[in-house]
Amino acid sequence: MQAENVIKEKHAGDIEQLKFIFSDENRIIVTAPAGCGKTTAMVSKIARELSNGHILSNKKILAMTFSVNAAMKIKDSLKALLPELVENIQKYLAKVDVANYHNFAMRILFKHGYCLNGEFTHLSDFKIVDEDSPLLNTFITSADSDKLKKVNDAVKASNKEELIAALDDYWDILNRKLITNHVITYNGILISAIKLLRETQISSFYKQYYQMIIIDEFQDTNLLGYLLIKKLIGNNMIIFLGDDVQKIYGFLGAVNGIFNLIIETYPVIEIKFCNNYRFRENNRMKALDLFIRDCVENFQPSNLKASVLVKNLQSDHEEDDFIVKGIEKIVSTKEDKVAVLVRAGWQGNSVAQILDQKGILYFNALFKETDPEYISFYNIALEEFHNNVLGKAVQRNLKNCLLAVDARRNEIYQQESKKYIFESMYKLLEILFVESKKVSGTSRDKYDYIDFILGNKGLKHMMEFVDEQVVLTTIHAAKGLEWEYVIIPRLNGFAFPSSHMCRSCKEANSCNEGFDYCKFTYAQSLKKAFKEELSILYVGITRAKKNVFFTVNTGANKWNHSKTTSCLLNLEGLILEDYEWENAI
């Protein structure tokens, strides 16, 4: 009872949040714009179900998300809240499993995989690769390779019919030629788990074991993730959380309109949060938030109005200098943090160079997840973690692990220009080891925490804890994080939106181009691409607690034509205001 009162107090005044937390419905969809308390309410919901004894002693809660970072955030927040509600929080924390889709599928394969193929008993030795890995050529023919790629393409295009039609061939090749040789693909992990869950005995077990399943960031789920989740829906409580407007992984196959798919398939209640806490006292940001959402949701010129701060400069160089001046001004406040968030990593490199020249400290996370240095850092870190960290002396062994990774830095980068990837990742690894000390429980719990983050490429989660006041990263990597100020550069056509969208837009004639601006005309064929670009912009904007600043340059490009201002800024109803750092910070 006391726990319920604490939760009620915490959410007092927010009817929708309270309705969700205290609902006993079995199927709930919660949609919420950024900053409306989705994560906060989800953690309270889990805490409520745990503390009132709804979750039986032999049952658990599964908190699942698309990214490992989002999954970790749930557990971290739960750890902070539970002590206010109950004693012996260990007992309660142990009842919550967090996972991303791959991680969860791996757990199922470790447990039951032998039912599909005996080689799954050696799963910890398996190499996990993509469909285009050269390693596969050792085991499969090029015709096989095409069949595997068909599934990957269908997942990325979110094409259910093509996926279903290609699945049997995929499984056959995976089973006979890859699993046998201790190799599996990322898609293969999900496909194998789905296959196992087709066994009624296994799926019934999980449907009962997980008395409550919460799926966060549901808008980013791809078809295989969706098929996996469907196999876990029984009489248990299932909660889908997310925000369609924050769907930024369309290129990985995030299913369009996935919340509607659930509404059409299952009886559910839908709760929408609408109190924006992040921008509660910031009318400009609140209006901008509503405006962009309106354009994404309705895909037509908005009747709303909003204003943004946009600095128009004449060259990349001028633009970079201007950004660095802003960074210097913000850093001089000593308290506030600022992130330069780019649409694509390379767009931040020239700002990084000036910061280097000026000796301004910053954290550089401009690398891509596909950078070979990024991938090999994880491989080596995981290998050295397993080599060095054994037994009970986890903390002492972590130091040895760091030394061992450092000793292999030359294996990770060959070019001086890629050295920063090692240095940034190494810093995140150090932070992970420090954070792991705060993980309550046994040495084994700390070990599993680190193993989970490294195994799931989740070091970016640690970006939240870096000391530097300045962070350079991509909008995709910034999801779920926040800073006082955000600067978004290069609001030019062919930069943001991406050149991919701009090319299609030109071909479809959906772009009214002036000599230095682009205006989008809402052609239906561009709907998916345009909505995704605006969603990326939305995620970037909503990372700012105080203010967001845009820069653009309409100087000459290399063919001596004026560059265009992005169509994302030339939206009907959006007022562009010039600014100077002196008055804006």
Ligand X SMILES: Nc1ncnc2c1ncn2[C@@H]1O[C@H](COP(=O)(O)OP(=O)(O)OP(=O)(O)O)[C@@H](O)[C@H]1O
- Phi, psi for 573 (deg, rounded to 5): 95, -10
DSSP assignment, residue 53? T
Q: How many residues bind ligand X (CB under 6 A)?
A: 15
Single-letter residue type at 491: L
Cβ proximity to ligand X: between 39 and 65 the closer is 39
Distances (CA, A) of 434 to 429, 447, 503, 533: 9, 12, 46, 36
Confirm or reject binding of residue 11 to ligand X (CB under 6 A).
yes
Element (H, E) at 260: helix 258-265
| Number of other residues whose CB lies within 10 A of the CB of residue 578 | 8
Cβ proximity to ligand X: between 163 and 288 the closer is 288
- Residue 37 is labelled as binding a ligand: yes
Confirm or reject binding of residue 14 to ligand X (CB under 6 A).
yes
Which of 6, 7, 29, 37 contacts ligand X by CB under 6 A? 37
Confirm or reject binding of residue 31 to ligand X (CB under 6 A).
no
> HSE of 504 in the Cβ direction (CA atoms, 13 Å)?
13
Cβ proximity to ligand X: between 517 and 538 the closer is 538
Q: Near ligand X by CB under 6 A, which window of 34-42, 88-96, 155-163, 459-467?
A: 34-42
Binding mask 421-460 for ligand X (x = CB under 6 A): ----------------------------------------
* CB-based burial, 310-341: b 16+ in 10 Å, e otherwise: bbbbeebeebbebbbebbebbbeeeebbbbbb
Cβ proximity to ligand X: between 40 and 473 the closer is 40
Confirm or reject binding of residue 540 to ligand X (CB under 6 A).
no
Q: How far is the CB of 17 from ligand X (least distance, A)?
A: 5
- Phi, psi for 574 (deg, rounded to 5): -95, 120
Confirm or reject binding of residue 380 to ligand X (CB under 6 A).
no
- Residue 35 is labelled as binding a ligand: yes
Q: How far is the CB of 210 from ligand X (least distance, A)?
A: 22
Confirm or reject binding of residue 469 to ligand X (CB under 6 A).
no
Which of 95, 112, 150, 278 contacts ligand X by CB under 6 A? 278
Give 274-280 contacts, CB < 8 A, sequence gap 24+: 274/16, 274/32, 274/33, 274/36, 275/14, 275/16, 275/17, 275/36, 275/37, 276/33, 276/35, 276/36, 277/35, 277/36, 277/37, 278/34, 278/35, 278/482, 278/542, 278/545, 279/35
Cβ proximity to ligand X: between 364 and 542 the closer is 542
Q: How far is the CB of 529 from ligand X (least distance, A)?
A: 23
Confirm or reject binding of residue 35 to ligand X (CB under 6 A).
yes
- Residue 33 is labelled as binding a ligand: yes
Binding site listing:
32-39
Q: Which residues bind ligand X (CB under 6 A)?
A: 11, 14, 17, 32, 34-40, 277-278, 480, 542
Binding site listing for ATP:
32-39
